[in-house]
Chain A
Amino acid sequence: MAHISSIGAGIFSDLSYSGVGAETEITAAPTTEGDWKLAFAQEVANGTVATAGAPLEFRRIKDIREFPQMGTPPNIVNIPTYGFKTSKQVQGQADAPSFEVTLNFVPSDWVNTANYHGNLVGNGKLYLFRFTLLNTPSLGATANTAYASIAGGLGTVPNSQYFWMGKMEALQINPQLTDANTAVLTISIQSEFVGPYTS
């Protein structure tokens, strides 16, 4: 398909991570668009054993309530310049953004058991993450590739994908007395953001 060409709400946007089936820990981010997408070519359900080795399999983090801003912050620095009414600006090296995702918390998805999301929180390992801006759900017909970065998956609808490498650092539960329970998942950023790409 292509990037989204209309204005709209990204109510079907998706957050996934890959590397769950790798035999060895990921230590370096992919360098090409094709390699990033290859890491998201096959979905494995939460709680299901992933296949070791290539291709890397990915899991989707569902029930997301609120996404943070996506991308590299600008960190604009003002440079005073003699003789000008306004200073000049340059872009300095930015601090990595705080990437905190608010979830509608489903405890059974986050148990600290092998093959579940919860088992990855705080384990110190690197994973590849993908955020996909989606205004409409994927029309992919096959369950384990409907949200894959391939033509027959996300490519069935307009989509824009962003990738980075990071760790799942913490999960903080926020019990609610009159609303749905929520949780905040903190993901640390260990590489630059790349994208947007489309499938």
Chain B
Amino acid sequence: MGKYANLDTKIFALFGTSSWTAEGIKTFPANFVAMDAGTEFIRVSIIPAGPGINLKSVSGIVLIEIFVEANKGPKRASYIADKLDIFLSGKNLMPTTKIAIQLGSSAISPLGNDPDNPSLYRTSYTIPFNYFEVM
């Protein structure tokens, strides 16, 4: 697999673990139309758009949009962000030897009500990553 496929495989796999699914937070990847997503879910996008230290490496961010019920305050979104930190922040994912995906320190930003569905409140959770591969 190439670096982009490796990134998709390892990062999305985190959301397939039993410990994450036990949290009960619906999780969708980018470019996936969720039917009946409900009033609380997250959408995960991987954006490998930064520089890499060699031809096989790349950096970028994992962008996770957190959707919660509108008019309920920010606490639930912060709670979900803290849960995401447990699974993502500082983690070193190693698809094979010679390859490492290191995730850094996260940040959240409130974005207001979702323009497509004003009954949902949207918060962006971003965490930078570095994908390293030995040449």
Question: Which positions in A face B, CB cutoff 8 Å?
Answer: 5-9, 11-12, 135-137
Residues in chain B near residue A136, CB distance under 8 A: 91-92
Q: Is the pair A8, B92 in contact by a Cβ cutoff of 8 Å?
A: yes
When the two chains form the complex, which single residue of A6, A11, A12, A137 contacts B98, counting CB atoms closer than 8 Å? Answer: A6
Query: Roughly how many angstroms separate A8 CA and B134 CA in the complex, as a whole number?
Result: 10
User: Which of the four size classes fits the interface of chain B?
Assistant: 10 to 19
- Provide 23 A-B residue pairs closer than 8 Å at the C-beta atoms, listed in order of the A residue: A5-B98, A5-B134, A6-B94, A6-B97, A6-B98, A6-B132, A6-B133, A7-B53, A7-B54, A7-B57, A7-B100, A7-B132, A7-B133, A7-B134, A8-B100, A8-B102, A8-B130, A8-B132, A11-B102, A135-B92, A135-B102, A136-B91, A137-B90
Residues in chain B near residue A12, CB distance under 8 A: 90
Q: Is the pair B100, A6 in contact by a Cβ cutoff of 8 Å?
A: yes
Residues in chain A near residue B99, CB distance under 8 A: 6
Q: Secondary structure of the B side of the interface?
A: loop
Task: Report B77-98 CB contacts with A as 1/0, cut-off 8 Å.
Answer: 0000000000000111010011
Q: Is the pair B134, A6 in contact by a Cβ cutoff of 8 Å?
A: yes
Q: Could you list 19 further interchain pairs (A-B, Cβ under 8 angstroms) beyond the known A9-B130, A11-B90?
A: A5-B134, A6-B97, A6-B98, A6-B100, A6-B132, A6-B133, A6-B134, A7-B53, A7-B100, A7-B132, A7-B134, A8-B92, A8-B132, A9-B102, A12-B90, A135-B102, A136-B91, A136-B92, A137-B90
Question: Which positions in B face A, CB cutoff 8 Å?
Answer: 53-54, 57, 90-92, 94, 97-100, 102, 130, 132-134
